[in-house]
Amino acid sequence: MKVGIFHTAFVGDIVLSSLLVEGLSLAGHSLVYFTKSHSIPLFLKDKRVEKSICIDKGKGLSKLIQIKKTAKLIKEQNLDVLLVPHRSSTSSLCAFFSGVPSTIGYNEASLSFLFKKTVPYKKEVHECLRLLEFLAPLKTQESIIKSCINLKRPLFSFAAEEFENFKRNFYAKKFFASDEKTTISGQSILENFAIIAVSSVWATKKYPNKNWARTISLLLNQKPSLFCVLTGGPADSKDVEDCVQELSKICPNKLNRVINLSGQLNLFEFAIFISFSKMVICNDSSPTHFAGAFNIPTITLFGPTSPSFGFAPSSQCSVSLTFADNHLEEKPLACQPCSPHGQTTCPLSHHQCLNGLQPETVARTAIVILDESKNTH
């Protein structure tokens, strides 16, 4: 069948849907992926996806016009089935007006009655496994569903030459202030680096930069051949620059091993880049799920949200850290978690969930994982 996936959520959610893409591909379906412009690069070069189509849902009154345009765009693809993991009323309306013979959404979606079929939204499971519920109505073989369940993480499918091309072109992009920053004792960045993603869409999800700087300093002290690469999109540049400023105060002699790539990589390049890393340390944000797609060791810091919401790191070697992991005498925070996705300010004005998560705890956990990973390989 020709199957469409209509998913216009945040980038991390789109990454997590790649396990659903894997199941549909194994079942032999032809796939069309509809998503927002920021996520389009993820599936343009994925061998399992026949076509990626950019969706603009609009804002305010323009949404009404865009619903009609989007429905027409979907209809033009002559789909047999349209899967809609996004639970917004706009997504439900787009699916309804598209005229696709079979539309499937979550039973908890807004305007769910507009779908021809619905599947259960299982709050208690990880998001990438939750999405596999869409396979059952397509009469997918049980062996395929079990294979995806056993994988338990997102998965991209890029051609081998894409990785080689990136590796060959990486230094030619002039990311670095000088050639001295690309090697240490003859070792290049791509041979031994950790990704540190300091930002987030939501302010309360951000680990404070003074804590990030202390964590990175401790890590560089313990791992003298390790590079730390700070990543993020254009909107994250200020957070990254602030972190570099904090680092310059506490470990100026180690800045030659700190690389700021914020805003320098598009989403596809970032996906490829993360596959070369030794570890990813980040807030509860999309880099967690990119790491999962390549089974990279991951540490994810949770503040207002919780791993139990279904967005925990999914790599085989991964750790979710919260305030309670400090092993302090204080009791766990009664206010944590406080939000399903984060907020602009802490409701209690102290942000202790992340202010109080000690850099020593994060760095110690990272060093253990790096050592175990090295011994494994």
DSSP class of 116 = S
- Low-confidence residues of the chain: pLDDT under 70: 174-187, 328-330, 375-377
Return the pLDDT at 252: 93
**Cβ atoms within 10 Å of 186's Cβ, excluding its own:** 6
CA distance 374 to 357: 26
Residue-range definition of the domain harbouring residue 244: 160-376
172: Cβ–Cβ under 8 A, 6 or more apart, which residues?
A: none
Domain final residue, candidates 151, 174, 208:
151
Q: Name 228's bridge partners.
A: 194, 258
Residues 90, 165 within the same domain: no
Return the pLDDT at 313: 97
Residue with tokens 């207002």: 304
Structure tokens at 217: 């300093």
Domain final residue, candidates 151, 186, 210:
151
For 164, list phi and psi in degrees, rounded to 5. -65, -40
Structure tokens at 179: 């050639």
Residues 226, 365 within the same domain: yes
Domain tally for the chain? 2
The domain that contains 139 carries what CATH number? Answer: 3.40.50.2000
Residues 217, 250 within the same domain: yes
CA distance 223 to 354: 24
Of 316, 227, 236, the closest CA to residue 273 belongs to: 227
Return the pLDDT at 171: 75
Q: Give how far Cα 185 sits from Cα of 168, 180, 182, 224, 257, Å.
A: 20, 10, 10, 11, 12
Residues 118, 168 within the same domain: no
Return the pLDDT at 229: 96
Return the pLDDT at 109: 97
DSSP class of 11 = H
Residues in the chain, total: 377
Return the pLDDT at 157: 96
Structure tokens at 39: 């996520």
Residues 99, 233 within the same domain: no
DSSP class of 138 = G
Residues 216, 138 within the same domain: no
Residues 180, 78 within the same domain: no
CB 10 within 8 A of CB 233: no
Structure tokens at 212: 């990030």
- What confidence tens digit (pLDDT) does each residue in 142-185 have? 999 999 999 999 999 999 999 999 988 887 775 665 555 666 65
Quote the radius of gyration of the chain (alpha carbons, Å). 21
331: Cβ–Cβ under 8 A, 6 or more apart, which residues?
A: none
Return the pLDDT at 162: 94
CA distance 69 to 56: 9
Residues 263, 204 within the same domain: yes
Return the pLDDT at 268: 94
Residues 44, 171 within the same domain: no
CA distance 159 to 142: 28
- What confidence tens digit (pLDDT) does each residue in 310-325 have? 999 999 999 999 999 9
Residues 79, 192 within the same domain: no
Residues 137, 232 within the same domain: no
Domain final residue, candidates 130, 151, 172:
151
pTM over 0.75: yes
Residues 125, 54 within the same domain: yes
